[in-house]
A = this chain, B = another copy of it.
Amino acid sequence: MAGTFVIAQGGGPTAVINRTLAGAVAEIRKQHPGARILGARHGVRGIRDGNYVDFADVSSERLGLIAATPSAALGSTRDKPDAAYCEVVLKGLQALGADAFIYIGGNDTAGTQQILADAAGGKIAFVHAPKTIDNDLVENDHTPGFISAGEFVAGAFLSVDLDFRALPGIYVGIVMGRHAGFLTAAAAAWRDEEGDGPHLLYVPERPFSVPRFIDDVRATLGRHGRCIVAVSEGVTSEDGRSLVESLVPEDRLERDAHGNVKLSGGDLGLAFEHALRDGLPGTRARVDTLGYMPRGNIATINPTDAQEAFDAGAFAADAATRGSGSVALRHEGGKTVPRLVPLGNVAGKTRHMPENFMKPDVNDISSAGMAYLERLIPRKYKVGRPFV
């Protein structure tokens, strides 16, 4: 197959999604020197609109620079195409004479590939290459983008814990993660000794209760004189509503095109500030919204993550010569190994943090959770123990 390859990027950008793009392009150039490689701008939207980058015009040098740059160089999209939209996309690919479409993204992206693969009837290979800082793709041990984002979060909470040793109080950092708590859990990855923060972690997998939260913080203050909290933007109350939905009046809630409530930002931060002010009046408390800081931060691109992302792209390009599927990163024999799995296994599914990653009775990571985090996000800095 010399042919035509189309590549696109979907969903939230990461620090290493461009490595996957570069890996795919490099592999196609190696295996199929005459092939045409087109990058669709802003995901399937670029195919719908016929908006392409021709990689014939992109030197290896520029590709190398782009690989080292965070975010999605082709642009991204939040479009979740329905059957009608997919038909337009499919026609666009057919008009190009495309032999394969490699789409780098999360579970929605895998879902799009499945719809397209089903409609195309085997004439074009549809390969999904994984990326997400949320680490919430089933079939994967972990996903490209997670380690770098996790390293940012681990370093941020290590640093804030040191700050709050010097000037005690309560700190709450709100971390991205609608359904899966992996990224929030990463806040604990670089704890070293008993008593190091973050002391409390709240993830979407476990019901959140404000009274329990206040009790947890009060107890931590009693033990350590400070309390560092990492909380997922997607924490939900017992009745299944997000914390924002529980605490903010319906007419002030913001929803996206899919009806999802906007989770991060001022409302959630303010909800925590008010809960602490009411529950623990007079105690210094600060709430930060980490928001976009961890997602594609240029200061915390992890080399392992970058290499795995590149390899996933190369593997996707190789797999595309044989048929459709989703690239999944497995942990086998102590190594990360890419495998091709059916698109339907991944499409639209969410991987949650395993139940045993949290301690049963305390809002903290278990030893099983810590072992996973330490394997993926090994400690990067040696820290001098402060005198306080």
Instruction: Please list the residues of chain A having a beta carbon within 8 angstroms of any beta carbon in chain B.
Output: 9, 12-13, 15, 18, 39, 41-42, 53, 62-78, 151-152, 155-156, 158-160, 162-163, 165-167, 171, 254, 264-274, 277, 286-293, 295-300, 381-388
Q: A15-B159, A289-B289 are in contact. List 9 more A-B contacts (CB 8 A).
A: A65-B384, A65-B385, A66-B384, A71-B159, A71-B163, A71-B165, A156-B299, A159-B298, A266-B267
Residues of the B chain whose Cβ atoms lie less than 8 Å from the Cβ of A385 = 62, 65-66
Residues of the B chain whose Cβ atoms lie less than 8 Å from the Cβ of A274 = 266
- Measured in the bound complex, the distance between the Cα atoms of B155 and A152 in whole Å is 12
Most buried by B among A41, A265, A272: A265
Most buried by B among A152, A158, A167, A274: A167
Which residue of chain B has its CB nearest to the CB of A62? B384
- Measured in the bound complex, the distance between the Cα atoms of B299 and A13 in whole Å is 21
Residues of the B chain whose Cβ atoms lie less than 8 Å from the Cβ of A74 = 166, 386-388
Decide if A42 touches B266 in the complex (CB within 8 Å): no
Decide if A277 touches B292 in the complex (CB within 8 Å): no
A292's partner among B39, B152, B171, B296 (CB-CB below 8 A) is B171
Which residue of chain B has its CB nearest to the CB of A291? B288
Decide if B288 touches A155 in the complex (CB within 8 Å): no
Known: A65-B382, A384-B18. A71 touches B166 (CB 8 A): yes
- Measured in the bound complex, the distance between the Cα atoms of B281 and A22 in whole Å is 37
Decide if B388 touches A292 in the complex (CB within 8 Å): no
Residues of the B chain whose Cβ atoms lie less than 8 Å from the Cβ of A300 = 299
Decide if B73 touches A167 in the complex (CB within 8 Å): no
- Measured in the bound complex, the distance between the Cα atoms of B221 and A326 in whole Å is 36
Decide if B388 touches A42 in the complex (CB within 8 Å): yes
Decide if B296 touches A159 in the complex (CB within 8 Å): yes
A269's partner among B41, B265, B386 (CB-CB below 8 A) is B265
- Measured in the bound complex, the distance between the Cα atoms of B386 and A171 in whole Å is 36
- Measured in the bound complex, the distance between the Cα atoms of B78 and A278 in whole Å is 23
Decide if B298 touches A166 in the complex (CB within 8 Å): no
A78's partner among B167, B171, B288 (CB-CB below 8 A) is B167
CB distance from A185 to the nearest CB of B (A): 19
Which residue of chain B has its CB nearest to the CB of A63? B384
- Measured in the bound complex, the distance between the Cα atoms of B166 and A317 in whole Å is 23
Most buried by B among A53, A163, A272: A163
Residues of the B chain whose Cβ atoms lie less than 8 Å from the Cβ of A299 = 151-152, 155-156, 159, 299-300
Known: A171-B292, A296-B163. A384 touches B264 (CB 8 A): no
Residues of the B chain whose Cβ atoms lie less than 8 Å from the Cβ of A71 = 159, 162-163, 165-166, 386
Q: Can you sample 8 A-B contacts with CB below 8 Å?
A: A68-B384, A71-B159, A75-B167, A160-B292, A163-B296, A266-B268, A266-B272, A288-B293
A39's partner among B76, B158, B381, B387 (CB-CB below 8 A) is B387
Known: A166-B13, A288-B292, A382-B65. A70 touches B266 (CB 8 A): no
Residues of the B chain whose Cβ atoms lie less than 8 Å from the Cβ of A75 = 165-167, 386-388
Decide if A70 touches B264 in the complex (CB within 8 Å): no
Residues of the B chain whose Cβ atoms lie less than 8 Å from the Cβ of A163 = 13, 70-71, 292, 295-296
